[in-house]
Amino acid sequence: MPYALNVNGKSYSVDVDGDIPLLWVVRDVIGLTGTKFGCGIAMCGACTVHLSGQAVRSCITPVEDAANFDITTIEALGDAELGARVQKAWLEEEVVQCGYCQSGQIMSAAALLALNSKPTDEDIDSVMAGNICRCGTYPRIRSAIKLASSREG
Amino acid sequence: MGIVQTALSGEISRRSFLISATLAGGSLLIGSRIIQPAAAQSQDSFAPNPFIRIPPSGKIEVVVPSAEMGQGVYTGIATLVAEELEVPLDQVQVVAAPADPLRYAHPVLGDQLTGGSVTIRGFWEPMRRAGATARTMLVSAAAREWSVPEASCRAESGNVVHAESGRRLAYGALAAKAAGLPVPENVALKPASEFKLIGKDVPRVDTPAKVNGTAKFGLDAHPAGVKFAAIAISPAFGGTLKDVDDSEALRIKGVRQIVKLSDAVAVVADHTGAARKGLAALKITWDPGPNGDLNSEELERRIEAAVAGEAVVAHNSGDVTAAEATGAKGFDVVYRMPILAHTTMEPMNCTVHARPDSCDVWVGTQAAGRARKTAAEVLGLPVEKVMVHNHLIGGGFGRRLDIDGITMATRVAQHVQGPVQVVWSREEDIRHDSYRYLNLSRLSVKLGADGMPVSWRHRIVGPAIMARFLPIFFKDGVDFDITGGAESPYAIANKRVEYVRHEAPEGMLTGNWRGVGPNRNAPAIEGGIDEAAHLAGRDPVDYRRQLLAGNPRLLAVLNLAAERAGWGTPLDRGRALGVAVLPDFGSFAALVAQIHVDRNGALKVERLVCAADCGIAINPTVLEQQIESGLIYGLSAVLYGRLTMKNGAIVEGNFDDSPVLRINECPPIEVHLVPSTESPGGVGELGTPLVAPALANAIFAATGKRLRDLPIDGSALRGA
């Protein structure tokens, strides 16, 4: 039975097993490749997407569980004011190196700021510790979150 | 000094010169039989060398021969070309070069490789020359068009301007005419005082696409009709596939095909989710092969035994044996390093479309030429029939200098109709890396009556990566990589560096790991100097100063880092500073680490203060990023990096049992750049080797415990 998904405001019907992780449906079936694969066990955060605004790891989220939510991926994050603000801060702080983890970092940061517009260092640590970066952009991620926070609209 | 210093002063400099000369006077048009870089090429395009294309309309293209893996090379190379071409960076379109070592080989490495922190050092002059050549020809073309002297025209922001008459023509409008002009042999390069882009914090060219999800990494290559494959490779190195029961896997929705190879099995499906589900449903029996009984204890026993083996001399000055007899006191110690994977964020993957007469490869690789060659060899095709589409790299660190994954993907694709993307799980990625193998340094030092070293004997035991990877850097039994930097910068009259080659078990690939040779040797050198200072009762910074008097650039960064870190200021109990220096990759750096060890032995890295002299900073922000990056990569390994072997296979497989540094553990980092007018040095690997010794020295200062084995063993600090 195909699953009806709402991704970035568009409707899709995907004919896959219900236990297939949302990550692969978004990437390989729908073709939105901004969401990345890093570990497959929710330990690195590269696959982070929003389900009705909540950050989730799409690599362990079965597609059948995502069907009832509005799914947002990095491709559409900038359509909202907060998402665009986070992306702009990321560029201004020159956070990015290889960039592979940054979709997930930005999705996690945007979800953090949506819940907590003025996060402390400890707040940043507790949420962003779920996202690994091997290039070592952590100090700049911290700065960019603070910059985006300081510009709350 | 690392291998590149050796190379630049030796045989390779000739190659470098030849390639530079080719760039300077290269043929005007790219011949039509040569594979064209990605974008369509108009006949009217102006392409005076392989690195610049100016079409009559549209953006100026800079073809970058090196792979972008986060180090900012697209920005760096484009900056060098644009500086001389007189165009703003936002008017430049960066295009990844195709695999073609004849045109795109790195001048120092002699192959189309991106690694060793040499990209900018090698291309610093050739790329500016490429830009200046094109600019000179465009000015000539305009002068002819207007029938005015060339000297009355100048290039400015992508136009040629004739000030007297106020006329101006965009480069695009001059392209066809410039293409008909002879390429000048000699062009003048700008003096540094006229730089508009070099030295400025120009925004990186690759980052906008990386924050909005449109950047394309190898894993994002989805050619029409692509299938997706999950792969299992023999867990034991050198093992083979014995038997597969695929009946259950083939019943899974979306699974199309099982590909069985001698040492691996892949499940091909409509999407990676089905492929992974199919792979999990396979019942695989492996023959572990010759290494099936090997475990970590045995590997460690073997390298310990190898220390006493026959060594070749990599460096010898003075008479160490005689000096050892005169030394008043000294020490004889062993530093050990573990097996490490690279653990790039983007797991290994490669997409291949193998046809009877041609092949396309979509991948992010640090070795495009070798990628093309291996695909051609697997398929029995001439290299010209293989097109490599190089992509952004989701983390290199040396891993993607090796092409084993491309070989494997091509072997799978050979059995598949249409393109197939082979995706390694994180577990497969960690268990089939090109590992930084075990490394052991035995250091024997004797001090004179004045407390200064009179003899320094350093015996290095480990694999010869260059013997396989770049044999020009393996001479008379000495591997220039593993011995890189081992002679140390310190003024010691009698020094000897010995090398005992000790390879990993057959079938276990060992390769280049960020920081390469200097990363293997810095813990022993910088730890050893600290031990000597302690034995002499001297302050570690003062002691180094005395031994570095003849090395002003290194001394300057040592002093700067010490000053900014507050060296000498009394600290609370349990808190201390440790220092390390590194003259390598053509740059000079010093790191002071501040750590705290509490009563329970819990270690916290509180602050890293780095000073660096990397010559002219083409883009200071990118330099700072790279130093931060190298330090954090090093810190992650020093705290956590250790893979173990059981039954011939790597035990750890994912971030749960093989942790890496996370943001909550990342200390504040300060980078202080020393202004310089010297040619640019390398920076991508500069930070990494400094971390282990600076941390170990700080721990010694705080606790009196000298930790010589990596990773740092927190349990050793309990009760300190």
What confidence tens digit (pLDDT) does each residue in B524-558 have? Answer: 999 999 999 999 999 999 999 999 999 999 999 99
pTM flag (> 0.90): yes
CB contact under 8 A, B621 and A39: no
pLDDT for the residue B43: 63
| CATH number for A57 | 3.10.20.30
- Taking residues B43-50, report their average pLDDT: 87
Same domain, A64 and A125: no
CA distance B217 to chain A (A): 8
pLDDT of residue B16: 37
Looking at the fold, whether A46 and A99 belong to one and the same domain comes out as no
Quick one: A85 and A56 in the same domain? no
Strand order in the sheet with B167-170: B153-156, B159-162, B167-170
Q: Provide the pLDDT for residue B32.
A: 22
Residue A63 and residue A84 share a domain: no
Residue B58: per-residue pLDDT = 67
Q: Is the dihedral of CA B25, B30, B31, B37 positive or negative?
A: positive
Do A145 and A91 share a domain, yes or no? yes
Inspect the interface and report whether the beta carbons of B206 and A124 lie closer than 8 Å: no
- Domain boundary (A56, A76, A96) is at A76
Top residue of A16, A134, A138 to mutate, by most chain B CBs within 10 Å, is A134
Contact flag B425-A99 (C-beta cutoff 8 Å): no
- Domain hosting residue A33, numbered range: 3-76
Q: 3-class SS at B248?
A: helix
| Separation between Cα atoms, residue B553 and residue B532, nearest integer Å | 23
> In this model, does residue B35 exceed pLDDT 50?
no
Mean pLDDT of chain B: 93
Nearest-CA distance from B496 to chain A in Å?
36
Strand partners, B227: B420
Tokens of B131: 């830009």
**Shared-domain flag, residues A53 and A71:** yes
Closest CA to B492 of B690, B317, B315, B693: B317
Residues A98, A65 share a domain: no
Task: Out of A28, A56, A76, pick the residue that ends a domain.
Answer: A76
Per-residue CA distances from B576 to B545, B555, B585, B634, B698 (Å): 20, 22, 29, 19, 6
Q: What's the angle, vertex CA B537, arms to CA B533 and CA B541, rounded to 5? A: 45
CB contact under 8 A, B621 and A128: no
Same domain, A8 and A72: yes
- Among the candidates A76, A100, A121, a domain finishes at A76
CB-nearest partner of B214 from A27, A29, A34: A34
A37 shares contact with chain B (CB less than 8 Å) = yes
Give pLDDT, residue B38: 35
Under a CB-based contact definition with an 8 Å cutoff, are residues B250 and A140 in contact? Answer: no
Whole-angstrom CA distances from B4 to B14, B313, B525, B632, B682 are 13, 19, 20, 24, 10
Give the residue-averaged pLDDT of B63-76: 96
Average pLDDT over residues B347-351: 98
Q: Distance from CA of residue B143 to its chain's centroid? A: 44
pLDDT number for residue B446: 98
A18 touches chain B (CB under 8 A): no
Angle subtended by helix axes A138-150 and A102-115, to nearest 10 = 40
Mean pLDDT across A25-50: 98
- Give yes or no for A27 touching B (CB within 8 A): yes
Asked whether B593 and B11 are in contact (CB, 8 A), the reply is no
**Are the beta carbons of B228 and A19 separated by less than 8 Å?**
no
Whether residue A22 sits in one domain with residue A34: yes
**Could you tell me the maximum CA-CA distance found in chain B, to the nearest angstrom?**
85
Is B173 a residue whose pLDDT tops 50?
yes
Rounded to a whole number of angstroms, the distance from the CA of A117 to the nearest CA of chain B is 19
Amino acid (1-letter code) at residue B200 = K
- Give pLDDT, residue B441: 98
- Chain B touched by A58 (CB under 8 Å): no
Contact A134/B at CB under 8 A: yes
Is A120 an interface residue toward B (CB < 8 Å)? Answer: no
Q: Kindly identify which residue of chain A lies nearest to residue B251, measuring between CA atoms.
A: A17
For residue B7, pLDDT beyond 60 = no
Provide the CATH number for the domain around residue A115. 1.10.150.120
* β-pair partners for B563: none
| Same domain assignment for residues A99 and A112 | yes
Instruction: Report pLDDT digits (tens) over B85-106.
Output: 999 999 999 999 999 999 999 9
Tokens at B595, concatenated: 């750590």
Q: Which residues contact A76 (CB under 8 A, 6 or more apart)?
A: A8, A9, A83
Asked whether residue A21 falls in the same domain as residue A52, the answer is yes
Which strands, in side-by-side order, build the sheet including B312-317? B312-317, B494-501, B453-462, B439-447, B329-337
B517 within 8 A of B436, measured Cβ to Cβ? no
Per the structure, how many domains does chain A have? 2
Task: Catalogue all structural domains in chain B, each as residue range(s) with its CATH number.
Answer: 3-210 (3.30.365.10), 218-289+348-423 (3.30.365.10), 297-339+435-717 (3.30.365.10)
Residue A48 has pLDDT above 90, yes or no: yes
Q: Cis (ω within 30 of 0) for the bond into B680? A: no
CA distance A14 to A34: 19
Contact status, residue B634 vs residue B688, Cβ threshold 8 Å: yes
Judge if A92 and A48 occupy the same domain. Answer: no
